[in-house]
């Protein structure tokens, strides 16, 4: 038996193999289907998908073979990977100087016939082989050899899918960690800013109360601007906190409540004046879902309808239906609408649909992004439709979830 050859690219090859994290993993139907096909097509009792590591060859999939691994120094596949661009064919190992003294040739099931197709990475490193084995001399037809090549290509595709999935999982883990850091940072900074902002607002009121007569008109305007800006920044911080907190809400926190009763509470809370007509759903459906999340969704959408309504009489229509799987809620207004070019991005963070609201204030682009997070947390989706002139319609769904007591 000849000494074990080592590929020139061994370091790179082993690195690529390690990145797959395939060694010693459980059996996989996707690989087992390929070895069964290889055994059938080549009319060989044994078919293996082998991975050649630093000191052993391990079989990811095997047909007609009980051994899980062998030492690399007796591996036929260790020789096959030395010629990565070609199929290694050994018609009779007893007549081949590389293998005639190999212990596998004298085993209870002797490896007499061997054919192995190297399994390559995109950069050309051979990680192992798809091979077929018989205990008697044998030859394969060109059709069988071509089929074996095709099956080896499918194994290589599975390797790449695994590599890509592992990379995606790694990226997802990093993104989740970064997102948690950002949420913590936003929470800490936002809470730390609330007290100084409150102090600024109070101090502004004190200055106006005690020294208003000592300021000229412009000075008092500056104080008003300072207070207004402080409130705007406070609202921005509140919205930012709501956005990150919305990601932690879950559909599993179930409550039973009537939608119309919730709407009545929200309308009272928002203190909507007589210039608006509010039409509740014809049927007062009872919902079983996260009440807090639904409240936040509706408050954001109702507030938007109020802020961006330019009509003499504002109208807000609510509808709600259900089927066996979802609740369907719609809120429609007769405001200024959302232009078609903005509708595809309106739920993206920090995206605003209009330059200013009906009081001349510019939005911060957080509210609708928060709404989408909340709707997603309830297992639903949200969409917007508007002609950009005469109103906007928001439709969202809430997935029904059986309560623990049902």
- Model confidence pLDDT, tens digit, residues 78-122: 999 999 999 999 999 999 999 989 999 999 999 999 999 999 999
- Same domain for 254 and 159: no
Q: Are residues 254 and 124 part of one domain?
A: no
User: CATH code at 32?
Assistant: 3.30.450.40
Q: In the chain, pLDDT over 70 holds for what percent of residues?
A: 89
* 154 shares a domain with 108: yes
pLDDT digit string (tens) for 130-187?
A: 999 999 999 999 999 999 999 999 999 999 999 999 999 989 888 888 777 777 776 6
Quick one: 274 and 314 in the same domain? Answer: yes
Question: Could you tell me where the beta strands, DSSP code E, fall in 29-166?
Answer: 46-52, 56-63, 69-71, 88-90, 113-120, 126-134
* Domain shared by 100 and 215, yes or no: no
Q: What is the pLDDT of residue 406?
A: 42
Q: What is the largest CA-CA distance in the chain?
A: 112
- Point out the domain boundary residue: 207, 232, 257: 232
Residue 342 is assigned to a structural domain of this protein: yes
> Do 290 and 314 share a structural domain?
yes
Q: For residues 363 and 377, state if they share a domain.
A: yes
Say what the pLDDT of residue 81 is.
96
CATH number of the domain within which 320 lies: 3.30.565.10
One domain, residues 191 and 157 = no
Measure Cα distances from 173 to 170, 246, 281 in Å. Answer: 5, 20, 43
**Cβ proximity of 380 and 398 under 8 Å:** yes
Domain hosting 340: range is 249-399
Q: Are residues 129 and 259 in the same domain?
A: no
Residue 51: CB atoms within 10 Å: 22
Domain stop point among 168, 186, 221 = 168
Query: Which of 232, 266, 282 finishes a domain?
Result: 232
* CA neighbor of 290 nearest in space, from 245, 254, 326, 242: 254
Side-chain half-sphere exposure of 313, counting CA atoms within 13 A: 3
Alpha-carbon Rg for the chain in angstroms: 35
Q: Are 350 and 365 in contact (CB under 8 A)?
A: yes
CB of 278 closer than 8 Å to CB of 272: yes
Alpha carbon of 316 to those of 207, 313, 353, 356: distances in Å?
41, 10, 19, 20
Query: Considering the domain boundaries, does residue 3 fall inside one?
Result: no
HSE-up (13 A, CA, CB side) for residue 74: 14
- Verify that 56 and 102 share a domain, yes or no: yes
Note whether residue 1 is domain-resident: no
- Domain annotation covers residue 257: yes
Is 310 among the domain residues? yes
pLDDT at residue 405 in the model: 46
* Percentage of residues in the chain having pLDDT higher than 90: 55
- Kindly compute the dihedral angle of the four CA atoms of residues 208, 209, 214, 217, in this order, to the nearest 10 degrees: 40
- Number of domains comprising the chain: 3
Please report whether residue 238 resides in a domain.
Answer: no
pLDDT of residue 243: 64
Burial class (CB in 10 A: 0-12, 13-18, 19+), 188: exposed
Residue 287 sits in the same domain as residue 330: yes
Answer whether residue 406 is part of any domain. no
- Residue 377 and residue 258 in one domain: yes
Which residues of the chain fall below pLDDT 50? 403-406
Nearest-angstrom CA–CA distance, 406 and 403: 5
Is residue 343 assigned to a domain?
yes
What's the mean per-residue pLDDT of the chain?
87
User: Are 239 and 364 contacting, i.e. CB atoms less than 8 angstroms apart?
Assistant: yes
What is residue 113's predicted lDDT score, i.e. its pLDDT? 97
């Amino acid at each position: 038996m000849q000494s074990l050859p080592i590929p020139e690219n061994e370091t790179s090859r082993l690195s690529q193999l390690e990145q797959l994290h395939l060694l010693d993993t459980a059996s996989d139907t996707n690989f087992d289907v390929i070895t069964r096909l290889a055994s059938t097509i080549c009319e060989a009792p044994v078919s293996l998908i082998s991975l050649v590591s630093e000191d052993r060859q391990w079989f990811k999939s095997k047909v007609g073979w009980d051994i899980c691994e062998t030492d690399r120094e007796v591996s036929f596949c260790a020789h096959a990977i030395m010629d990565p661009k070609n199929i290694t064919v050994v018609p009779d190992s007893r007549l081949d100087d590389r293998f005639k003294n190999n212990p596998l040739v004298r085993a209870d099931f002797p490896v007499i016939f061997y054919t192995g197709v190297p399994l390559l990475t995109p950069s050309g490193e051979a990680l192992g082989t798809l091979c077929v084995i018989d205990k008697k001399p044998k030859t394969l037809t060109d059709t069988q050899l071509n089929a074996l090549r095709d099956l080896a290509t499918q194994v290589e595709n599975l390797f790449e899918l695994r590599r890509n999935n592992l990379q995606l999982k790694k990226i997802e883990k990093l993104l989740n960690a970064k997102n948690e850091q950002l949420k913590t940072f936003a929470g800490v900074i936002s809470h730390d800013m609330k007290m100084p902002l409150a102090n600024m607002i109070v101090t502004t009121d004190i200055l106006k109360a005690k020294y208003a007569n000592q300021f000229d008109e412009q000075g008092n305007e500056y104080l008003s601007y300072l207070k207004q800006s402080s409130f705007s920044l406070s609202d921005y911080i509140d919205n930012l906190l709501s956005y990150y907190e919305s990601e932690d809400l879950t559909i599993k926190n179930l409550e039973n409540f009537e939608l119309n009763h919730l709407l009545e509470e929200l309308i009272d809370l928002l203190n909507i004046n007589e210039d608006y007509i509010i039409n509740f759903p014809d049927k007062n459906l009872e919902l079983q879902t996260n009440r807090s999340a639904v409240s936040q969704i509706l408050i954001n959408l109702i507030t938007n309808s109020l802020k961006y309504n330019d009509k003499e009489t504002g109208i807000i229509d609510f509808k709600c239906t259900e089927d066996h799987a979802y609740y369907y809620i719609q809120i429609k207004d007769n405001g200024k609408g959302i232009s078609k070019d903005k509708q595809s991005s309106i739920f993206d963070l920090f995206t605003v649909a209009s330059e200013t609201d009906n009081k001349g204030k510019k939005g911060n682009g957080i509210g609708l992004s928060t709404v989408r997070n909340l709707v997603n947390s309830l297992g639903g989706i949200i969409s917007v439709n508007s002609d950009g002139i005469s109103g906007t319609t928001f439709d969202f769904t809430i997935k029904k979830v059986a309560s623990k007591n049902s």
